Structure 1
C-alpha cells in the first residue's frame, strides 16, 4: 500500500525530466540547424520518421531505431534528388515530406499493426516511462559529444561552407553526423511533444536565443533557457487544465514569436 501511494506522488517525475531535457536539447539543436540553414530538412526528417517506426514495429525491433534510420534516409534521399540552389527546392522538399508521412500512415493497415498515431505525431508525455527518458538522455549525450568534438568546425561550416570545405573540413561527413543527431533528437522527443510538433520547439526558442548573440554557444545556452521555460510551463498547464502537453508547448511557442523584433521599413 505504501508503494502504491509513493507511486502516485511521484508519477510526474519521469514526464517532468523528459520534458525538461527535451526543452533544453531541442532549442540547442535548433540553434545549430538554423545557423546551417537546415531547418527545412528537420521538418522533412520529422515526417520521414513514421514509415521507419511502423516497419520497425512490424519487424519486432525498437521503433526508435527504425524512426532514426528512416528519418536520416529521407533527409539524405531528398538532398540527393535536389539542391538548395534549385528554385523549386522548397516545393520539392515539402512534397517529399508530405508523401513520406502519407506513406507511413498507409503502411499501418498494410502491415497489419496497431499504432497510436496521435501519440506519435503529437506526443503523450503523461505516459512517458524510463525507456522514453533513456532515449532522451542518449540523444542529449550524443549532441553534447558532437558539440565537444566538432564545435569549431560546425561554426565554420555555418558561416562559410565552401571555405570550410576548401580548408580541409569534411563538410559532408559532419552534415551526416548532424543529420543523425537531428534524427535522434526528433525520435527522443516523440513522447514529449510528438514528431510533428517538435519543429516548434526546435525553432522558436532558437530564434529568440540567436538575437544579437555574440557566439553560437551563447545562442545555444539562451535557446536552452527559453526552451526549458516553455516546456515546463506547457507541462504545468497540461496538469492544471487536463490538456495535452505537446500542443500546449507548440501554442506557447507561437505566442513567444511576438517577442521577436520586427524589421522596420525605411
Structure 2
C-alpha cells in the first residue's frame, strides 16, 4: 500500500503537469495514441527479460516517429495518422499478449496493477518522473511560448519542431510512468483530465501548473483509499475520482460552471424590452 501510494503520487503529479501543455496545444488524442502504443513494447520486453519501462519507452517513441512519418509523407491528416498508428500498435500488443506464454498476468499491463508495484518498478517510476519534471521546469517558458504562439517562438530563434519533438518525447516517458499505476487503457485520462479541470478554474497558465498536480495528487490518494475499502480496481477508481472532480468543476466552478452560470443569469433582473 505504501509503494502504491508513492507510485500514484508521482504518476499523478507528472501526468498533471504535462497535461497542462497537452490540453493547451490540443494534443489530447496524441496522449491517447502514445499511451496505447507502448503495449507491444512492454510485452516484448517481458519476452526478452528486459525492464518493462525500456520496451514501453522504445515503442512510445516509435509511435511518435510513425505518426510524424505518415502525416508528412502522405495526404492523411494528423488525426487520421494518430488513429491508424495507435490502433495498429495497440492491436499488435493485444496479439502478443494472447500468444505469449507467461507466468505473469500480462493483462495487468492493460488495466494496471497499482497494488502489485515492486521496489524496482517504484525506482523506475521515481527516476523517470523526476526526469520529466526537471525538463518541463527548465524548458517551461519555451514550451509555453510554443503552445501559445509557435510563429513567435520561431521568430525569436526557437525551433518549434524541436520543441514539439521534446514534448512528444516527454509524453512517451510520462506514459511509461503512468503505465505502472493505471495501465495503458486509462493513462490517457491522467494525461488529459487534470489539465482540463485546471483550465476551467483559471485563465493563467502558471496557476494551471499548480492546480492540476494538486488536484491529481488529491484524487490519487482519495481514489486509492476508496478502492482499498470498497475492494475495487485501484487504477479505475482513481481515474473515476478524477472524472467526478471534473464533473463537479464543470457544473459548479465559480466563473464557468454550468449551474453557476445558470443561477447568475436567473438572478439578474429582467431587462424590459424597448418600446
TM bucket, shorter chain: 0.7 to 0.9
Task: Tell me what 2:26 maps to.
Answer: 37
**What is the match of residue 61 of structure 1?**
50
Instruction: Give 1:117's match in structure 2, choosing from 106, 127, 134.
Output: 106
**Residue 109 to residue 202, structure 1, CA distance change in 2 (3 Å):** closer
User: How far off its partner does 1:148 sit?
Assistant: 2.9
Supply the distance in 2 between the matched residues of 1:249 and 1:42 (Cα, whole angstroms).
18
Residue among 190, 209, 214 paired with 1:220:
209
Cα distance in structure 2, aligned partners of 1:188 and 1:208: 21
1:157 has 2:146 as partner: yes
**Corresponding position of 2:158:** 169
Deviation at 1:114, TM superposition (A): 5.7
Structure 2 stretches lacking a partner, 5+ long:
251-256, 263-275
* Counterparts of 2:245 and 2:80, CA distance in 1: 28
Moved runs in structure 1, 4+ residues, more than 6 A?
none
Counterparts of 1:189 and 1:168, CA distance in 2:
34
TM-aligned CA deviation for residue 232 of structure 1: 0.7
Q: SS at the partner of 2:184?
A: coil
Superposition pairs of residues 75-224 of structure 1, within 5 angstroms: 75-82=64-71, 88-109=77-98, 112-113=101-102, 116-211=105-200, 213-224=202-213
Aligned length, in residue pairs: 253
Which of 21, 24, 36 is the matching residue for 1:47?
Answer: 36
Structure 1 residue 246, shift from structure 2 partner: 0.6
* Equivalent residues of 1:206, 1:219 under 8 A apart: yes
Give deviations 1:28-69, integer Å, cap 9, x for gaps. 111121112222111110111011112222222212111011
Q: Are 1:136 and 1:185, in contact at CA under 8 Å, matched by a contact in 2? A: no
Alpha carbons 2:97, 2:106 under 8 Å: kept: no
2:181 is paired with a residue of what secondary structure?
A: coil
The 1-side partners of 2:176 and 2:103 are apart by 19
Q: TM-score, normalised by structure 1?
A: 0.86
Q: TM-score, normalised by structure 2?
A: 0.83
Root mean square deviation of aligned Cα: 2.4
Q: Is the 8 A contact 1:119 1:191 kept in 2?
A: no
Q: Displacement of 1:220 after TM fit?
A: 1.4
Per-residue deviation, 1:115: 5.2
The gaps in structure 1 that reach 5 residues or longer are 1-11
The structure whose Rg is larger is 2
Shift of 1:243: 1.2
Deviates most, 127-136 or 231-240: 127-136
Deviates more, 1:152-161 or 1:101-110: 101-110
Could you give the per-residue CA deviations for residues 85-114 of structure 1, whole angstroms, max 9, x where no partner exists? x78542442232222111111123556556
